[in-house]
Chain A
């Protein structure tokens, strides 16, 4: 489950707006 990105602000970075269609999640604890 991925969190739903918050609504973009008017000056939001292009990279925040340009999201992939499929996102997977990995969860790790590194000691």
Chain B
């Protein structure tokens, strides 16, 4: 539904990128459980980074912050499964979620921030930074620009994103690259 990046897991109050304290850079995903399950998100988590690597630092550690007992159970089960499959120890921490500190605006929607034309359209669609960060459309466009469009998705959802015809053409051109 939407995504945001921030800092989690540490004790420092109000961390910032340049004063992170003991927090870890973190992604938060609000999802519709009728469309995608937590187990499927875990599959993506394990597949999109190297959880066996020794953490470079607390800032860049591999961590699952579980929100309830079911998430904890699935995280632990899939960690065991992944270790068996890889034949290597996984360094990922599995810890209870406590508090998420949202990162500075300039870290949010990274790919979308790299396209001035589409970003200008979102300034019109979501006039406040808060609305922009929490926008489902902005999360979708950011994903499309990052090359993560599932087949047929842009065609299906494009008309609902609020973009101008030119903006939509621009977005479609990324998919064709």
Contacts and interface: CB of A to CB of B under 8 A. Distances in A.
A26 to B, nearest CB: 5
- Residue of A20, A25, A29 with highest tally of chain B CB at under 10 A: A29
Interface residues of B, number: 55
Grouping DSSP codes into helix (H, G, I), strand (E, B) and loop, the A interface class, with mixed when no group exceeds half, is: loop
A28 B26 contact: yes
B135 interface: yes
B125 A15 contact: no
A15 B128 CA distance: 17
B137 A26 contact: no
Interface of A: 2-3, 5-9, 11-16, 18-20, 22-31
Given A8-B131, A31-B51, A31-B60, 6 more contacts: A15-B161, A16-B135, A16-B162, A26-B28, A29-B24, A31-B50
